Amino acid sequence: MSTDNKDNRIIRSGFRAARWLKNRHAQTIYPKLPWATPERPLLKRESLELPDGDITAVDWMITNCKPPTSIPLLVILHGLEGSAESPYARMLMQAASDRGWQPCVLNSRDCGDYRNRLPRRYHAGETNDIRFFLRTLRTRGFAGPMLAVGFSLGGNVLLKYLGELGHEALVTAAAAVSVPLDLHKSSEALNTGFSKLYQRYLLRNMKQALGNKFDQHTAAFNWTDTMNARSFAEFDDAVTAPLHGFAGKNDYYDRCSSGRMLKDIRKPTLIINALDDPFMTPAVIPDADQLSQHVLLEVSDTGGHVGFINGGTPWRPTYYLPGRLLGFLASFTK
C-alpha cells in the first residue's frame, strides 16, 4: 500500500496521537472509561418493523433542531455488539446536533437492550436493514441530505451497501472508520497476541447475548460448538454462518468483506483506518486501484481501533474523529 498516489485516493491522515496516549491498545480502550467521553445524550427510541417480519430499533437524539425534513440527517451504524450507548456514537451524535443536524443510530438486530423476533441476529454483510431504513425516511417525506457513518463492523456494512447500490444509494455522502475490509485477515489478527483479549471479551458478550435469545433446545445452530468457540473464526463457523444462510465462515467472509466492493461505490465516501489497529493488520489496507474515484482512504500510523484521541488531558481528552468526519460530510450538504 502506498500513500503517494497521483490521484490522491489514498492520503496520510492528519491525526496525531496525544503525547500521553501513544500506545494502540491505550487508544482503543481509553474511550470506554467512564470519564473519557461526554455525557449520554437524550434519546427517543423508535421500533422499526422490517419487511421480513423482524424488528429492530432506531435511537433518535432529542435535539432543538428544526423538524428533520430538510436539515441534514446523520445515520450512525455501530460496531460489533455496540449500540447508541457506544462512546463513539454518543460523541458523534452530540457533534452532529451541535451543527444543527438530526442524528440517529440504527441498531443492528438483537443489539443493545433490544431483542428481535426472528431466530437470527446480525452480521457484517447485512445491508437490507440500512436499505429499508433509508427508503423509509424518504417515504416519510424527509428531503434533506442523508449522511451515514459506520464504525468497525457497521462501517463494513455501510461500505458494502454503498458498493451494492452504486448511484442508487440514498445517502448524499458517507464515512467509515476502523473497517475490517478483509474479514479473513481481521479474524486472523484477533487471534494473535494481546488482541486475543479483545476477542475473548467480545466472544463472552456475544455468547451471553445468544444465551438471552436461545438455549440448546431452540438454537438453529450447534449450541455446543458455539459455546465452546474460542475465536471469531470458530464462532462464525458455528453460528454466524448457519444462522444467516452462509455455507461456513469462509463463505461468509468471502461474500461480506467490504474491501471487494470499494470499486463499485459511487457516492462520496471517506474511510479512516489506522495501521496500528489491533483488530486487523496493515494488510487490509487496499491499493488505490481497488478504490473507485469516489472513495478517499485516509490512513493513519496510529489511532488504534476507533480511538483517535489527539490531545487534551487524561481527564478531558479531545478526539479527532467527530470534527474530521462531520467536516467531510458537511462539504456535500451545501
Burial of 5 (0-12, 13-18, 19+ CB in 10 A): middle
What own/partner pairs with CB < 8 Å and gap ≥ 24 does 216-223 have?
Answer: 218/119, 220/119
Helix then strand then coil, in percent of the chain rounded to 5, is 35, 15, 45
Catalytic annotation, pick one of 108, 152, 257, 300? 152
From residue 8, alpha-carbon distances to 69, 182, 289 in Å are: 35, 22, 11
* Whether 4 is catalytic: no
* Whether 277 is catalytic: yes
Write out the three cell numbers for 82: 455496540
From residue 307, alpha-carbon distances to 24, 30, 37, 218, 319 in Å are: 8, 8, 11, 38, 8
H/E element, 297: strand 295-300
DSSP 8-state symbol, 108: P
Write out the three cell numbers for 73: 440527517
Write out the three cell numbers for 20: 500521553
Catalytic annotation, pick one of 178, 277, 294, 300? 277
* Whether 186 is catalytic: no
- Given a contact cutoff of 8 angstroms between Cβ atoms, the answer to whether 209 and 164 are in contact is no
Catalytic annotation, pick one of 78, 123, 294, 305? 305
Residues involved in catalysis: 152, 277, 305
